[in-house]
Structure 1
Amino acid sequence: MTHTLDEGSSTPLYAQLRELLKSQIEDGSFAPGERIPSEDKLNGLYGVSRITIRRALQELADDGYLVKCPGKGTYVGERIPSMRRPTKIRAKFTQNNDVQSFTEACASNSQSAGAHLVSLEEVEGLEEERDFFGFGSEGRLLRLVRIRTADRTPIMIEENYFPVGTYGFLLDADYEDTSLYDIIVSNGHGEPTLNEPCDLDLEKAPADMAPYLDVPAGEPLFCLAGRYFDTDGSPMYLGKQHIVGTRYTFRI
Structure 2
Amino acid sequence: MTQGLDEGSSIPLYAQLRELLKGQIREGAFVPGERIPSEDKLNGMYGVSRITVRRALQELVEEGYLVKCPGKGTYVSERIPGMSAQSKVRAKFTQNNDVQSFTEACESNNQRAGAHLISIEEVDGIDEARDFFGFGSEGRLLRVLRIRTADRTPIMVEENYFPAGEYGFLRKADFEDTSLYDIIAASGHGDPMLTEPCALDLEKAPADLAPYLDVPVGEPLFCLVGRYFDADGSAMYLGKQHIVGTRYTFRI
TM-score normalised per structure 2: 0.70
Give the Cα–Cα distance (whole angstroms) in 2 for the partners of residues 38 and 242 of structure 1: 28
Q: Out of 103-112 and 215-224, give the one that drifted further.
A: 103-112
Which residue is equivalent to 1:239? 239
Which residue is equivalent to 1:23? 22
Give the Cα–Cα distance (whole angstroms) in 2 for the partners of residues 155 and 82 of structure 1: 16
Alpha-carbon shift at residue 39 of structure 1 (Å): 9.1
- 1:2 pairs, out of 7, 14, 17, with 14
Partner amino acid for 1:221? L
Alpha-carbon shift at residue 138 of structure 1 (Å): 4.5
Which residue is equivalent to 1:91? 88
Q: How many residues align?
A: 206
Shift of the 41–251 alpha-carbon distance from structure 1 to 2, 3 Å rule, reads closer
RMSD, aligned CA: 3.6
Shift of the 210–56 alpha-carbon distance from structure 1 to 2, 3 Å rule, reads closer
Residues 115 and 175 in structure 1, CA contact (< 8 A), matched pair in contact too: yes
Shift of the 210–22 alpha-carbon distance from structure 1 to 2, 3 Å rule, reads farther
Which residue is equivalent to 1:193? 193
Q: Look up the SS of the partner of 2:89 in the other structure.
A: coil
Which residue is equivalent to 2:107? 107
Shift of the 20–190 alpha-carbon distance from structure 1 to 2, 3 Å rule, reads farther
After TM superposition, list the pairs within 5 Å mapping 1:219-234 onto structure 2.
219-234=219-234
Which residue is equivalent to 2:5? none
Please tell me whether residue 178 in structure 1 is matched to residue 190 in structure 2.
Answer: no
What per-residue deviation string (whole Å, max 9, x for no partner) do you get for residues 205-244 of structure 1?
1122111111111111100011111121110111110101
Shift of the 171–185 alpha-carbon distance from structure 1 to 2, 3 Å rule, reads same
Alpha-carbon shift at residue 152 of structure 1 (Å): 0.7
Partner amino acid for 2:161? Y
TM-score normalised per structure 1: 0.70
Alpha-carbon shift at residue 195 of structure 1 (Å): 1.1
Please tell me whether residue 215 in structure 1 is matched to residue 212 in structure 2.
Answer: no
Which residue is equivalent to 1:205? 205
Alpha-carbon shift at residue 162 of structure 1 (Å): 0.4
Give the Cα–Cα distance (whole angstroms) in 1 for the partners of residues 20 and 222 of structure 2: 32
Alpha-carbon shift at residue 177 of structure 1 (Å): 0.9
What per-residue deviation string (whole Å, max 9, x for no partner) do you get for residues 139-193 of structure 1?
2100011110001111001000000111111000011111111100111112111
Unaligned stretches of 5+ residues in structure 2: 1-12, 30-35, 54-68
Give the Cα–Cα distance (whole angstroms) in 2 for the partners of residues 188 and 136 of structure 1: 26
Residues 93 and 248 in structure 1, CA contact (< 8 A), matched pair in contact too: yes
Shift of the 244–132 alpha-carbon distance from structure 1 to 2, 3 Å rule, reads same
Unaligned stretches of 5+ residues in structure 1: 4-18, 31-35, 64-80
Alpha-carbon shift at residue 84 of structure 1 (Å): 4.6
Which residue is equivalent to 2:144? 144
Q: Look up the SS of the partner of 1:212 in the other structure.
A: helix
Give the Cα–Cα distance (whole angstroms) in 2 for the partners of residues 231 and 247 of structure 1: 33
